[in-house]
Amino acid sequence: MNTKSPVPSVPVPSASAFLPGDPSISKEGIPLLDIKDLKVSFPDENGTVKPIYRVDLTVKANETLGLIGESGSGKSILGLSILRLLPGDAEVGGKILFKGQDLLSMPSTELRKIRGREIGMVFQNPAASLDPIFTVGGQLSEATRVHFAFDKNAVKARVLGLLDRVSIKDPALRFGQYPHELSGGMKQRVMIATGIASEPSLIIADEPTRGLDVTVKRRIISLMQKISRDTAMLLVTHDLEVAEQLCDRVAVMYAGEIVEIAGCEEFFKAPLHPFSEGLLNSLPSRGMHAIPGTSPSLIDLPSGCRFYPRCRYSMDICRTRHPELVPVDNAVDGAVNGDMNAFFDAGRLVRCFLYA
């Protein structure tokens, strides 16, 4: 079934509004998502928890950017902060520009038009996110009605199309069923259908394969691959296998900071930051060598490199000085030679004194 057949009543600003030659830049010269100097903190009885510290990140139109790292490094907080979905006590600083507009400072009424409409969310844990007292069709119809003023029959046709698009067999049967009647994999497909219901130009997916068995995980990866052909995606995952199969670029988080940004292929071939190297070495296919130690407390962060106590390459400078996220040499060379496109294409950034 063609999900695009019913015509939305509101014009959809789509990713195709962005120039094909340079997918990061729109016709107006604006990146799709541009996170600038993002800081998030929470007051705590023991001090201030700082899960995000000075994060700069860009998602280009039509690309899939993977946000990877250990559990507790701030990935979900970053994803939630984009749509201002953090708890009320969170203090958020910086800018999050979506098509040039700052999501953090715009009025809530404006943000509501973007949330779920131009930016779709696929949350982790579908069992908790789907409402047990509403049918699958009811929940998806609601998500569809909120964004498009279709009549009842058109909404149903659109929802059946969505279920078909996420490869749920027998959509008419599933339409009338409740979440508990669905398998884990099917629930996750319904969550994905909710995320894409409005044909957003950006999807934020947080651990979309967590808790799924290997076979179901493979199917969800293949579904996400299909969806990512039309939509930009910020994929939050601790699962490197998922990132490798889905992403165009990866950004590695460690203790609230980005420590490396690289093209996916070059990253998996040759990670540069020592933490990235440790992450890859902990994969079963690479010997399962766990990184010794634990990440620092987000209340009492060290003044030097945050990875210092766990790093096998640490030097004296790393203990006292905090490294910046800087382009690695080959990218800088490209820029110095006047080829700014080479600089952006290479776009490899590392926060480590080994490369500074």
Ligand X SMILES: Nc1ncnc2c1ncn2[C@@H]1O[C@H](COP(=O)(O)OP(=O)(O)O)[C@@H](O)[C@H]1O
Binding site for Mg ion (CB under 5 A): 76
Span from 87-95, 137-145, 245-253, 300-308 in contact with ligand SF4 (CB under 6 A): 300-308
Query: In this complex, which beta carbon is closest to ligand SF4, that of residue 207 or of residue 257?
Result: 257
Q: Are 321 and 308 in contact (CB under 8 A)?
A: no
The two beta strands, 33-44 and 349-350, are unpaired
- Smallest separation (angstroms) from ligand SF4 to the CB of 68: 16
Does position 74 interact with ligand X (CB under 6 A)? The reply is yes
Query: In this complex, which beta carbon is closest to ligand SF4, that of residue 157 or of residue 305?
Result: 305
The two beta strands, 119-122 and 202-206, are parallel
Query: In this complex, which beta carbon is closest to Mg ion, that of residue 68 or of residue 232?
Result: 68
| Sign (positive or negative) of CA dihedral 126, 234, 254, 237 | positive
Does position 75 interact with ligand X (CB under 6 A)? The reply is yes
Copy the structure tokens of residue 293. Answer: 């130690």
SS3 label, residue 287: coil
Q: Select the binding partner of residue 31 from Mg ion, ligand SF4, ligand X, none (C-beta < 5 to 8 A, by kind).
A: none
Binding flags for ligand X, 290-309, as an x/- string (CB under 6 A): --------x-----------
Does position 55 interact with ligand SF4 (CB under 6 A)? The reply is no
d(CA 119, CA 149): 18
Give residues 304-323 in contact with ligand SF4 (rule: CB under 6 A). 305, 307-308, 311, 313-315, 318, 323
Q: Are 240 and 280 in contact (CB under 8 A)?
A: yes
Q: Select the binding partner of residue 296 from ligand SF4, Mg ion, ligand X, none (C-beta < 5 to 8 A, by kind).
A: none
Q: Select the binding partner of residue 49 from Mg ion, ligand SF4, ligand X, none (C-beta < 5 to 8 A, by kind).
A: ligand X
Does position 76 interact with ligand X (CB under 6 A)? The reply is yes
Q: What are phi and psi of 39, to 5 degrees?
A: -130, 135
Q: Are 306 and 257 in contact (CB under 8 A)?
A: yes
Does position 49 interact with ligand X (CB under 6 A)? The reply is yes
Query: In this complex, which beta carbon is closest to ligand X, that of residue 67 or of residue 140?
Result: 67
Q: What are phi and psi of 327, to 5 degrees?
A: -65, 140
Query: Where does residue 233 fall: left (phi above 0), alpha (psi -120 to 50 degrees), or beta otherwise?
Result: beta
Does position 353 interact with ligand SF4 (CB under 6 A)? The reply is yes
Burial letters for 227-236: b for 16+ Cβ neighbours within 10 Å, e otherwise? bbebbbbbbb
Does position 274 interact with ligand SF4 (CB under 6 A)? The reply is yes
Does position 258 interact with ligand SF4 (CB under 6 A)? The reply is no
Tokens 């957003």 sit at which residue? 200
Does position 208 interact with ligand X (CB under 6 A)? The reply is no
Query: Any idea what DSSP says for residue 115?
Result: B
Q: Tell me which of 15, 38, 51, 83 binds ligand X, using CB under 6 A.
A: 51
d(CA 140, CA 178): 12
Q: Select the binding partner of residue 77 from ligand X, Mg ion, ligand SF4, none (C-beta < 5 to 8 A, by kind).
A: ligand X
Residues 6+ apart with CB under 8 A from 101: 110
Write out the residues near ligand X by the rule CB under 6 A. Answer: 42, 44, 49, 51, 69, 71-77, 87, 298
Write out the residues near ligand SF4 by the rule CB under 6 A. Answer: 274, 305, 307-308, 311, 313-315, 318, 323, 352-354
